[in-house]
Structure 1
Amino acid sequence: MLKPFSLFVGLRYSLARKHNLLLSFVSLISMLGVSLGVLILIVAMAVINGSITTLRDEALKSVPHATVSGSDLNQNWTDVRSLALNSASVLAAAPFIEGEATITHQGETGFIRVRGIDPKLELPVNESARSVFQELITQLNETENGIILGAQLAGQLGVYSNTDVSILGLRSLLDRQLDDSLGFDVLGFADFGLYGNNNIALVKLETAQKLFENDPGVSLQLRLRVDDVDNAGQIASEALADAPQLEVAPWNAVQASLFNALNMEKFLTTFMLLMIVVIGAVNIISTLVMVVSDKSADIAILRTMGASRQTIMQIFILQGLVAGTIGTGIGAVLGVGLANNITNISLGLERFVNSTFEGANIYLLSHLETEVNFMEVYI
């Protein structure tokens, strides 16, 4: 099969052994610059994507997929729940109330969020499917004043299972109604994620209603679990379209400030690292200028043979495309490979130096998590 003249000559120049050592060195550096830029860009985007996914999963351990609120829910929450469950995209729904309170144990006091739940309806709507959590919910259903604490909160207060704690609603504290405090028996500890381990406590719905009966700012709400977390708001709104008086708040609206900041960081990081790739491309262009100067005699011969200016230009453009494509391909392959193994690499380095690079008590994430988006790699 015959190849076009410019394609044949361009590939010949690209793949032939170069006798100009300086030109060969500059070409290699330009190609490596593109490869390095693409590699760093892919790894950085994978780390940010992994961090966003991990933080989202941690947030959903304590934040509902969608929260439904309204003044009439205290009386008709069962009807609203049935209406929501009529949608095939709503997997589960359960009532809850949540308010701020103080917890006291042996003189240690802390501020927490007390969430009252219906133990019979809680498990299907909760992200945690661990058997330990299921056993705790079963115990909560069987006790009158049981309480489940976040693991970090229990550590801060020095609380153990089967110990007593005292809970006082924040409104009662502000009104100095200290007699409204209730005693609870700690049933155990649960994982409520990064945003709930240090301040969430679960009690029965009826007990929480009694605890916050003097707080007008605390009212019954519904939490929904849907099959598509990213479209939770739209799914909940469509499921409750026949009840326009209700307000729907998806999880990404509750945590909007955090995830907006992460997405902005992703955009800025991508933009800055993309400049490295641009610099590599500029280096390839400068290399082509040197190639044109080096091949001036060849160009003169080609022009004498009848080659047009456009044909000559296509020859050297093709040579630049070959260098850029090879550099991009090498960077993409190495970048994807490094991104998929960066967690294992970081853990291996920690074991090798016998030290921890990241600590959960300092950073939100204790280890790097990556997620390669192949559409982003392709783009």
Structure 2
Amino acid sequence: MSKHKKNTRAVSNAVFVAVAVILIIIAAVGFALYATKPSTTSTVTTTVPTTVVSTVTTPGMTTTSTQTVTATQTVTSTQTQTVTSTLTKPVTVNSSGAFYNGQVITFQYTAQFMCTPPATTFFPNETNQSKAAMGCEVGAGNISAFPKNAAPVFVLVPAFAGLSIFGPTQLNATPQGFPTFTYNNVTYVITTQCGAAGTMTACPDHMTYIYSPAFTAVEQALGIKNGVFNLPEGVLPTPAHDHLVTFTTNQSIPWYIVVVLVFDPNIFPNPITGQCQAIVPSNTTNPTANCLNNIQALENAMMTYDSAVGMANAKNPIWTTLVNTDLQVVVPGITSPSQLMSATNSNMVLYFSDPAIYPYPI
């Protein structure tokens, strides 16, 4: 068998460094702290034998005597020692990239996430799961429970990359938290606007763990009955993902999450350029026509069957368990594009503004 090669998907080495700088949300900043130890005083006592010669002269006679005496000398010295140590403190960058109308824009996070109503409202028997996931779930939702001015943010999960989307290197994710996808003996690193939770590229103010009955189904299909990573069954880290919105604003507002599972690698956008690359052969005239950098493309992809999907996901347990059709994307619980703006499939809310500015250094 030929050895797999690793290529970065549509990202040059130089560009990958740039995205790593921005997508990595933990930056190390060194602060030098100077600590001076208290002064120490030491006393040294030295005893030195000394010979004293004395001469006594009397009329007619001179007497000389020799006497040995001991002289004691005390020397006191003070020593001061200065020790320099360095403390490294993490700095969180409260922003990430997103897609709007074919452009790459910025999310600026302003508050902690919210999950409402809690997962047990929809899944009353999953109390341990809800506790581990801080009440956050994918699989059901109630828009009326969200803040009145909440808008949808479509979370694009590269589900074609299989279990590597969840971040552990033992599942073939990179050490940075990006998923990988292998086709025709070539392995591609799928860089995303947010790496998997718990990794250096995870986005701020996102939930760490999520419960989903879909996760449970995949675990059971793999013969896993008691969960993984010391988590309850059906609870996994927030997967690596991109964002898609339908408008921009300089004001921070609540956004409710609609999860989109992307099974066609040809339409998953590059996080820096917003463009797509054809990786897997397709029976469509233009394999990247539905590049998911705008809402119209998402609506089209929901209704588009492509042979690339079956070829890309033949060994993917997420696809074989949950979907097993050639649709380019699947929005769990939402079957029609007309429902995208009026329904949800999660109870998760993020808070951010999304100004139409490019988020990465040029």
TM-score range, shorter chain: under 0.3
Structure with bigger strand share is 2
- TM-score using structure 2 length: 0.21
How does the TM-score come out when normalised to structure 1?
Answer: 0.21
User: Relative contact order: is structure 1 or structure 2 higher (C-alpha 8 Å, sep ≥ 6)?
Assistant: 1
Greater C-alpha radius of gyration: 2
